[in-house]
Amino acid sequence: MIKDEVREFLSKRGVVLQDFEATETFSVIDSMGFLELLNTLEENHNRELDLGAFDPDEFRTLGRFCALVESLEKNEKH
């Protein structure tokens, strides 16, 4: 599950969250960390995650980001 992978990524960087869903993505990682997270997810799932077509507000929080990535995976499988 994407949320578990993101939690693991963050915990390896010393970030432990109480309210994962509502936490703003860029309050816990910077832009380079976000690119590292994308790269990690791409490697884990053997696919490219192209977020360029999305409004940045769609991945403003970690919950929204995870939902977006999961929806991309579901759409690809169909």
> DSSP secondary structure string, 14-54?
T---S-TTTSBHHHHS-HHHHHHHHHHHHHHHTS----TTS
Arithmetic mean of pLDDT, 56-73: 92
For the whole model, what pTM was predicted?
0.89
Distance (Å, whole) CA 58 – CA 62: 10
- The confidence score (pLDDT) of residue 52 equals 87
CA distance 8 to 71: 20
pLDDT tens digits, one per residue of 2-54: 999 999 999 999 998 999 999 999 999 999 999 999 999 999 999 898 888 88
Report the alpha-carbon distance of residue 64 to residue 20 in Å, rounded.
Answer: 10
